[in-house]
């Protein structure tokens, strides 16, 4: 994005009039940052450790999401318009720090939403119903946080959710041919 910016690229701002109605809430930065530890959740799934095929499929799902998003980022570069604020409290200081390391480019689609939706699908896939529900709830909360901390527009969220679910659907089709997955898991699919 820095290269495109230096060449004078006009960045797309996929805002909707409703975006202006969403309040700025710096305290939601903590929910937004919870995305990062959630991304490591799949390494706690013992099924992935026991079956190299499942590990590869899990990685493939992430690769699909990032490849799709990076392609869109390059073809239709997008940027978030952020508010000016004074970083007085801890939440504001954390958000100010985050704004300094992330310039607000690559907002469409939201990879925060895509990755967490994908992880929720994975948890459901491995019959971790309570965990899956918890991750889906976190997906909703993280989606809300992206709006409240002005990291994404409304339009970015469904696109991210779609990419996360498509990544899962492609990486984990009903019965993959030549799968090295545990037969019990394949029968459950």
Q: Domain ranges in the chain?
A: 52-79+90-189
Mean pLDDT of 118-147: 88
In this prediction, residue 2 has a pLDDT band, given cuts at 50, 70 and 90, of low
Q: Residue 133 and residue 130: Cα distance in Å, rounded?
A: 5
Closest CA to 107 of 133, 87, 81: 81
Quick check: 23 pLDDT over 80?
yes
User: pLDDT tens digit string along 44-88?
Assistant: 888 888 889 889 999 999 999 999 998 988 887 777 888 888 999
Q: Residue 26 and residue 24: Cα distance in Å, rounded?
A: 6
* Model confidence, pTM: 0.81
Cα 167 from chain centre = 11
Question: Nearest 10 degrees: CA dihedral of 184, 186, 187, 189?
Answer: 130
Cα–Cα distances (Å) from 146 to 54, 132, 186, in that order, read: 30, 21, 36
Quick check: 138 pLDDT over 50?
yes
- The predicted structure's pLDDT at residue 16: 77
Quick check: 130 pLDDT over 80?
yes
In this prediction, residue 114 has a pLDDT band, given cuts at 50, 70 and 90, of very high
Region label for 8, one of left (φ > 0), alpha (ψ between -120 and 50) or beta (otherwise): left
Quick check: 136 pLDDT over 60?
yes
Does an H or E element contain 102, and which?
none
HSE at residue 115, side-chain half, CA atoms within 13 A, is: 20
Closest CA to 34 of 160, 142, 182, 171: 142
């Amino acid at each position: 994005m820095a290269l495109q910016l230096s060449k004078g690229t006009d960045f797309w701002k996929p805002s909707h009039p409703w975006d202006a109605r969403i309040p700025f809430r710096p305290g939601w930065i903590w929910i937004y940052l919870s995305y990062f530890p959630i991304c490591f959740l799949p390494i706690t799934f013992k099924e992935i450790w026991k079956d190299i095929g499942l590990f590869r499929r899990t990685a493939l799902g992430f690769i699909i999401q990032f490849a799709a998003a990076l392609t869109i980022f390059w073809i239709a570069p997008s940027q978030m318009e952020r508010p000016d604020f004074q970083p007085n409290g801890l939440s504001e200081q954390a958000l100010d720090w985050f704004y300094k390391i992330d310039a607000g480019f690559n907002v469409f689609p939201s990879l925060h939403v895509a990755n967490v939706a994908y992880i929720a699908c994975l948890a459901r896939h491995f019959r971790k119903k309570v965990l899956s529900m918890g991750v889906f709830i976190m997906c909703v909360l993280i989606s809300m946080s992206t709006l409240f901390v002005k990291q994404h527009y409304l339009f970015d969220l469904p696109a991210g959710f779609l990419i996360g679910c498509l990544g899962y659907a492609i990486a984990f089709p009903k019965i993959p041919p030549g799968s090295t997955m545990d037969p019990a898991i394949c029968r459950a699919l």
